[in-house]
Structure 1
Amino acid sequence: MSKSKLILPFIFLITLGSTKHVIAQNSTKKSINVLFKKNKIIEVAFLSINPQKKQQLAEEYFKKVMPIAKEYGMKPLAKIKIDYAYSEFVKPQILGFFEWESEQQHQAFLKDPRFQKIKPIRDDALDFLRLGYFKIEKNTTVKFDSGKLIEIFALWLNPEEAHRMQTYFKNVKPLIAGANTKYDVQFPIKLKPLDYGYDTYKPQSFGIAIWKSKDSNSQFFESSEYKKIKHDKEAALGRLDVWQGHIIIN
């Protein structure tokens, strides 16, 4: 059985426990609708800022780099403040999504002398930076609500036990599918990793789950139903990175 058949929509339930932002607001909550477009390059930036150099990053780098990047078709999509990082290697404070018109446009930006001149300012202000590049199969609008838990995952399958993920999917589906499930979770988007040919973050699968709350997430992974089936998932995975947080709405 091919690996591609194993990576199904319910892969999202393997976790631990022009782009126009439409902002809706009431007294306590805000939300944005973010359009992820087919055939665009989606850049995911994992970053942590040196607390002493926030102003440097904002004033000396971002104010200068954004106009340059937009010349090459870059559009900011969304920023996630990371509250919990379940990863041995990637522990960012913020996870950002950006859109590029094409790989050629993005590569041209990287070679632009204006970017090269200010890039050291960025590198000096960051304690951590890792970049990943992805595509999506069809236009997809994702609603990010400030009151909900956003969970981003990346995974690699264990080749010898990957077939057991199918058994996990079969057993987990009744727990989370349908209107009557007590676990309020949505699986809005799955991204396909791209091979850029250099040291980028390239998991086998990458996606987002949106839970009603942290409590809803915890209840699922602490439930007796989940504990009865998790052994197949754990055997099938070679590596799992998970980040939980909330949307940043400016």
Structure 2
Amino acid sequence: MSSQPVEVTSLLWLKAGVTADQARNYFTRLLAPIVRRHGGEPLADGYPLFVEATVRGELKPDVIDGFRFPSQEAMEALFQDPAYQEIVPIRDATFDMTRQSVFRVSRAAPTA
């Protein structure tokens, strides 16, 4: 496991009938406090980010989010946290998880 900081970002699509305010509430009121307990923080101020338009390409997710964790272990501990498990049904009612994409990202150029 890595003791280096880990950054992840997700592309998310809202389920039909779900509003941007509901998505924001999920992130800011439900998820963020749990993420912070594990040393995580949002990658961007004013997160989550809502997609206004696709400038290039085919994808148009509704929401982009991202978090930085102090380590891989801290990120994995988040997913095992009972408080996180309690909000999974709300996440699944808010976002189309069959379309979600999650990426580990880096500010450094990839090495071969």
Q: TM-score, normalised by structure 1?
A: 0.35
Distance 2:93 2:50 in 1: 22
Aligned residue for 2:57? 86
Distance 2:52 2:72 in 1: 27
Q: Is the 8 A contact 1:82 1:95 kept in 2?
A: no
Q: Is the 8 A contact 2:51 2:60 kept in 1?
A: no
Segments of structure 2 that go 5 or more residues without pairing to the other structure are none
Q: Does 1:77 align with 2:43?
A: yes
Choose between structure 1 and 2 for higher RCO, CA contacts under 8 A separated by at least 6 residues: 2
Aligned residue for 1:5? none
Distance 2:33 2:64 in 1: 21
- Give the alignment's Cα RMSD to 1 decimal: 2.6
Distance 1:64 1:95 in 2: 17
Segments of structure 1 that go 5 or more residues without pairing to the other structure are 1-38, 138-189, 194-203, 205-250
How much has 1:67 moved relative to structure 2?
0.6
Normalized per residue, which structure has more strand? 1
1:1-250 alignment runs, 5 A limit:
39-50=4-15, 52-54=17-19, 55-59=21-25, 61-62=26-27, 63-78=29-44, 79=49, 81=51, 83-84=53-54, 86-87=57-58, 90-127=59-96, 128-137=99-108, 190=109, 192=110
- Tell me which stretches of 4 or more aligned residues in structure 1 moved more than 3 Å: 55-59
Instruction: Provide Cα deviations, 1:122-165, integer angstroms capped at 9, x if missing partner.
Output: 1211134211112333xxxxxxxxxxxxxxxxxxxxxxxxxxxx
Aligned-pair identity in percent equals: 24
Q: TM-score, normalised by structure 2?
A: 0.71
How many aligned residue pairs are there?
100
Q: What is the letter of the counterpart of residue 95 of structure 1?
A: I
Distance 1:86 1:47 in 2: 16
Q: What is the letter of the counterpart of residue 36 of structure 2?
A: K
Q: Which structure would you say has the larger Rg?
A: 1
Distance 2:43 2:87 in 1: 22
